[in-house]
C-alpha cells in the first residue's frame, strides 16, 4: 500500500500523522498475515517499547488495525478493511494459524454464519482455526 493511502487512513480517523505510526502501519501492511507483537518489536527496535504499545492502542481504537487472537499469550495485528468502523468491527473472517509455518492469516468468510445460540445474543464473533496453509500444503506435494 502506498504511504499516501496510509496517511489518508490516519486522517480519516483524526489521528495525527507521525513517523512512528507510518512505520507501524507499513510493517503491519507488508507482513503476510497478522504480525506478532514480538516481530513488531524486533522490526521497530528504534521505537520505544512503550511508544509501540501506545501506538498500537491508538490504531486499535481508531479502527485502523485489529487484534487477532490465537489461543496463546501473544497478540497478532492486521490492517482493517476500509469497511471496518472503529466502534463496531465486523470482522467476519477467520484467523487461521498454520501449524507448519505458524503464520496467522485473515481469511474471508465465504458464507454467512448464523450461530444458533438460543437465548444468548451474539453481537460479534471471531473464528480461530488452525491447520495447514495453502503454501505449506503445496510444498509437501
Partner DNA sequence: CCTTTAAATGCAACAATGTTGCATTAGTGA
Partner DNA sequence: TCACTAATGCAACATTGTTGCATTTAAAGG
* Site of interaction with DNA (CB under 7 A): 10-11, 15-21, 37-38, 47-51, 53-55, 58, 73-75
Sequence-separated (6 or more) residues with CB below 8 Å from residue 58: 15, 21
What angle is formed at CA 4 by the lines to CA 2 and CA 9, rounded to 5 degrees? 105
Query: Does residue 116 bind a second copy (CB under 8 A)?
Result: yes
26 binds, among a second copy, DNA, none (CB under 5 to 8 A by kind): none
- Answer with the entry of a second copy, DNA, none that 91 interacts with (C-beta below 5 to 8 A by kind): none
Q: What is the Cα–Cα distance from 72 to 58, expressed in whole angstroms?
A: 23
Interface region with a second copy, contact rule CB under 8 A, candidates 15-23, 31-39, 79-87, 117-125: 117-125
* Contact call for residues 128 and 97 (beta carbons, < 8 A): yes
Nearest approach, Cβ of residue 6 and a second copy (Å): 25
Q: How far is the CB of 88 from a second copy (least distance, A)?
A: 12
Residue 88 binding a second copy, by CB under 8 A: no
Give Cα 57 to chain centroid, integer Å.
12
**Does residue 123 interact with a second copy by CB under 8 A?**
yes
Residue by residue, DSSP assigns 36-72 as EHHHHHHHTTTS-HHHHHHHHHHHHHHTSEEEE--SS
128 binds a second copy (CB under 8 A): yes
Residue closer to DNA (CB basis): 2 or 16: 16
Nearer to DNA, 56 or 80 (CB): 56
What is the spatial distance between Cα 56 and Cα 79, in angstroms, rounded to a whole number?
11
Amino acid at each position: 500500500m502506498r504511504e499516501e493511502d496510509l496517511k489518508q487512513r490516519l486522517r480519516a480517523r483524526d489521528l495525527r500523522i507521525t513517523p512512528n505510526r507510518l512505520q507501524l502501519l507499513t510493517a503491519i501492511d507488508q507482513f503476510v498475515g497478522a504480525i506478532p507483537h514480538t516481530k513488531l518489536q524486533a522490526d521497530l527496535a528504534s521505537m520505544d517499547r512503550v511508544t509501540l504499545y501506545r501506538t498500537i492502542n491508538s490504531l486499535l481504537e481508531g479502527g485502523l488495525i485489529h487484534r487477532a487472537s490465537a489461543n496463546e499469550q501473544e497478540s497478532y495485528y492486521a490492517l482493517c478493511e476500509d469497511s471496518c468502523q472503529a466502534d463496531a468491527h465486523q470482522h467476519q473472517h477467520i484467523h487461521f494459524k498454520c501449524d507448519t509455518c505458524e503464520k496467522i492469516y485473515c481469511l474471508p468468510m465465504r458464507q454467512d454464519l448464523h450461530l444458533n445460540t438460543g437465548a444468548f445474543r451474539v453481537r460479534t464473533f471471531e473464528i480461530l482455526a488452525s491447520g495447514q496453509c495453502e503454501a505449506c500444503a503445496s510444498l509437501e506435494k
